[in-house]
Structure 1
C-alpha cells in the first residue's frame, strides 16, 4: 500500500531504492512485514507497507494504518521530549539530582550513588545502572515494583545504555503530574495500546502465554503497567508527523530541539543517538542526524542538515525474538540508500 502526500519525483526515486531491502527481507521471510516512511521538507512525504501485520495464529496484511509497539523509540518521542519541556519551563534543572523530584530514591542511604545521578546523566545513559534487569520477575504489582526500583541497591558498572535511566525519568513525569504514565496524554497520534485487529503483532510471549498484539511487548513495561522506557504505540503517520515537527520547529521549543541535537558523548545527545561508525542510521547521513531504535523492530532517524526524516517500522520479533531477522543490517542499508548521493 502506497501513500503519497505531495511527493515529487526525486523523493519517489529515493523511496523506491530504499524500499527494496525491506521488500527482500519480507520475501526471504526474515520479517513478517514492515512500513517505510520518509518525510522531506522540500520534497514531501511517502509511505508504503508490505507483508503481514500478523502470521500467528492467523495472517493479517500490513497497511500504512497499522499501529506499532514503538518499544524504545518511546524514549525519544515521549519521555525525552517531556523531560526537556519541563527543563525548558524551569520545572527541573537537568544537572540537579533525580532526588529533587524523587526524594525517596535510595532513601535509607544518604550517600548512595543512585541519589547523586542527574536528569542529564539519565538522558545520556551516563550512569552506572546495569544494561538489563528482569524487573518483571519480581512480581506483577506495579506499585510494589516502583518501590523496589527506587529502594534497590543497584549493582554499579561502567556507563551503558540502560532502560533503568528512562524508567526513573518516567517516575519523574508521574510524580510531577501526580498521574501514572498511562493516564498522561501520549501525544497527537500516539497511544498506550491499540486495537489488536489493527496492530502489528509482536511475540508469542512465554510468560504471558499469548501472542502480543496491541499490548506492550516489553516485559518490564508490562509489569509496571506503563514506564518511561517503552510502551508507546503509533503509526507511520504519527511518527513522521512527530519528526516533521522537529524539522520545521513546530513540534517543540527551540531550546528542546537544540538539546536533542547537543552531544553528551561520542554516541549520544540528550536522549537520542548521533552518528558513529556502525550506527543504525547508516554511514551516509549528515553529522546533523539523530536517531533511535526499538527492540520490536522500529526506528526513527532525523537529519536536520538535509531537512529529512525516515522511519522503518517492522514486527521483526513476531512470532519470536529468538530468530535472526537481519534487522541490524537492514536499518543502515535503508539509511544509506535514502542518503545516497
Structure 2
C-alpha cells in the first residue's frame, strides 16, 4: 500500500458524505514529518448560484483554524522573540484594555489564559450587530464590561490576542506576513463558497464567513484566514519538523492547561473530533465552516479535512462530527498499516 492508495481509502467517509449530499465537497490531505504528502478531493466548491467543481487548489475559509495556524503560532513566535511574556497580562501589549477601571478582571488576563481558553469571557458575542466600523468594534471589545462566567471556548479570547498582535507588531492583521497558500485576502473566484448569508444578502465566497470577523475588516484573531489544503499541510509540516516554533513552544502546544485544552489547541480525549485512535499527545482544532487539522506527534504525521459544509446553509445537519471522527479513525488505521509494511 502506498501513501496515494492510503489517502484514497481514508477519503471514503468524506466521499460517502458527498454522495449523500450531506456536504458539497471535501479535500483530505496527509503529511508526514519527513515531508511525504498525499491529497484527495471531490465534490463541489459551489452549488449556488451555479455548480463549480472543487480542486486541490481551492481556497477554503479556514474559520477557527485561524486561531491555531495564525494567532497561536504568531503569539508564540513573539514570545520566542522576547516581545511578550505568555504569563504577563494582556495589558503589557494593550495598556488601554478596560482603561476606565484599573481593577477590571480583564486587565488581569494573561496571554496564556486566553490561548488556553481559561478566562471568564463568553463564547461569542454578536458584535456585528453593533456596527461595521473595525476600529470602533475593536474599542468596544477592549472597553466592554464582559459578563463573568466559567471558562469556555471563547472567540473573545482570540479577538483580544489578535489586537495584541497588531499592537506589538504595529501591523494590522490583514497585513501580517503569511506563508504561501495562506492569506487574509483570497481571490473569490478560487474559493469554496460558504453560506447564503441573510445578513449580507448573498452567497459568501472569498470573504470571511464569520460575521464578527467580517465586521472587523475581514480578519480577526479568531477567524479570517483562508488557505488551500497544501497551505494547511505546509503549516502542519512546519510544526512537525520544528521549523515554525522552538522546542519550548512545541511543548507548550502539547501541554494540557485544562482537561481538553493546551496552549491554543485541543488535546486528544475520548470522543473528540479527531477519532479515538490518535496518540494521547495528538492535538487538533476545527473550524465552523467545516475545516479541521490534527497533528499526531507520536506517529510523526498530520492530516487535514477541509469541507464547505455550511454551503448553502449552516442550518442543516451535515454530520460533520461523525465524519471527522470516521476520517481520523481511517487515517490512523491505514497509516499504522502502511508503517508496518515499511
Partner of 1:78: 70
- Confirm or deny that 1:25 pairs with 2:17: yes
Q: Which of these residues, 7, 15, 33, is aligned with residue 41 of structure 1?
A: 33
Partner of 2:137: 145
Cα deviations by residue, 1:152-181 (Å, 9 ceiling, x for unpaired)? 000010000000000000000001122210
Q: Note the residue ranges of structure 2 that are not aligned, 5 or more in a row.
A: 337-342
- Confirm or deny that 1:159 pairs with 2:151: yes
Partner of 1:286: 279
- Confirm or deny that 1:272 pairs with 2:265: yes
- Could you say if the C-alpha distance between residues 167 and 74 of structure 1 is closer, same or farther in structure 2, counting changes exceeding 3 Å? same
Q: Which of these residues, 212, 216, 231, is aligned with residue 224 of structure 2?
A: 231
Q: Residues 105-144 of structure 1: matches in 2 within 5 Å?
A: 105-144=97-136
Cα deviations by residue, 1:180-212 (Å, 9 ceiling, x for unpaired)? 100111333211132222110001111111111
**Post-superposition shift, 1:17?**
2.5
Q: Is the 8 A contact 2:90 2:107 kept in 1?
A: yes
**Post-superposition shift, 1:276?**
1.0
Q: 1:132 & 1:291 partners in 2: Cα distance? A: 21
Structure 1 stretches of at least 4 aligned residues deviating more than 3 Å after TM superposition: none
**Post-superposition shift, 1:13?**
4.1
Cα deviations by residue, 1:265-324 (Å, 9 ceiling, x for unpaired)? 110111000111211100001112110000000000011100110000000000110000
Partner of 1:334: 327
**Post-superposition shift, 1:251?**
2.5
**Post-superposition shift, 1:253?**
2.0
Q: Which of these residues, 174, 187, 198, is aligned with residue 195 of structure 1?
A: 187
Stretch of structure 1 that moved more, 81-90 or 188-197: 188-197
Q: 2:294 & 2:79 partners in 1: Cα distance? A: 24
Q: 1:42 & 1:242 partners in 2: Cα distance? A: 14
**Under a length normalisation based on structure 1, what TM-score does the superposition of the two structures give?**
0.95
Partner of 2:51: 59
Partner of 1:301: 294
Q: 2:157 & 2:178 partners in 1: Cα distance? A: 19
Number of equivalences:
333
**Post-superposition shift, 1:42?**
5.5
Partner of 1:5: none
Partner of 1:320: 313
